[in-house]
Amino acid sequence: MGPPWPVRRCYRHPVWDPGRGLCWEWGTRTFVMGIINATDDSFSGDGVADRLDEALALTRELVAAGVDIIDVGGASSRPGAEPTPLEEERRRAVGVIGAVRAELDRIGAELPISVDTTWADVAAPALDAGASVVNDITGFRLDPDMAPLVAERGAAAVIMHNQRGRPHTDLVADVIAGLEASLQICADAGIGTDRIVVDPGFGFGFGVSQNLEMMRRLPEFWSLELPVLIGTSRKSTIGAVTDTKPGDRLFGTASTIVAAICAGIDVVRVHDAAEMMQAVRMTDAIVRPAR
């Protein structure tokens, strides 16, 4: 018998260009998205709203850890969070992205930046400020101007399925149906699948048992033949299982990342970059030895 993890994947496109002339070859290793929350109400307690010095220090930490992309968001997406006014989200996100882009250029780090937003009015100035990827937790299903903007700008995209407010039938079927709806929006706008990464939406409208089921069934998302991102870092399911607060979920998060890599996931989104990079590199060495 072979190893209990997949060693090959099928993709519609072998590489993804997240901007600035950088191409990622899928299947060769796990790519890491480091998080900068330009907010003051993040569930994870690591927001740096209006504190550019902290944002720049975190940028240098992420670069030193070896992440592949930095994700900046100006509004909290935690359950029950008060909606952030659009002007405030734009101010926070664009200010941090501009500062991070300048810092990356200063230290000679060729890293792309993604903007985590659901609104075209935030994404547009964020792309002007130095982002090249749009990470939308609604999969372009909220703002009808988002997909046309991404198409016009030639940006890459992370489209997530969000189950909040939607009834459940079968978990994977629900997620795939949602992602297929988002992919149709992308196709209608002229965004090629070579520019898309999909995210099944761990924690977005799912309970603990459903999130754990998602982790067990991750290989089923291969049917989309697209690279898959997972964002489990510090989330409440880990807290429920391990009885820990967000800042104490390091080992629980690492466990989910190891499991995701063994299931063939391509990108992991993390807070604790240095520690998670160890988990990623060690797991890749086991799962993808020939790579």
CA distances from 178 to 141, 149, 163, 198, 199 (A): 9, 21, 8, 11, 11
Catalytic residue IDs: 235, 269
CA distances from 201 to 52, 54, 150, 235, 286 (A): 29, 28, 20, 12, 26
> Nearest to residue 267, comparing CAs of 233, 243, 217?
233
Task: Please say whether the beta carbons of 205 and 163 come within 8 A.
Answer: yes
Amino acid at 144: P
CA separation for the pair 277, 287 (Å, rounded): 15
CA distances from 207 to 20, 41, 126, 210, 235 (A): 38, 22, 32, 5, 11
Residues 6+ apart with CB under 8 A from 63: 104, 107, 109, 111
CA dihedral 220, 209, 174, 154 (to 10 degrees): -70
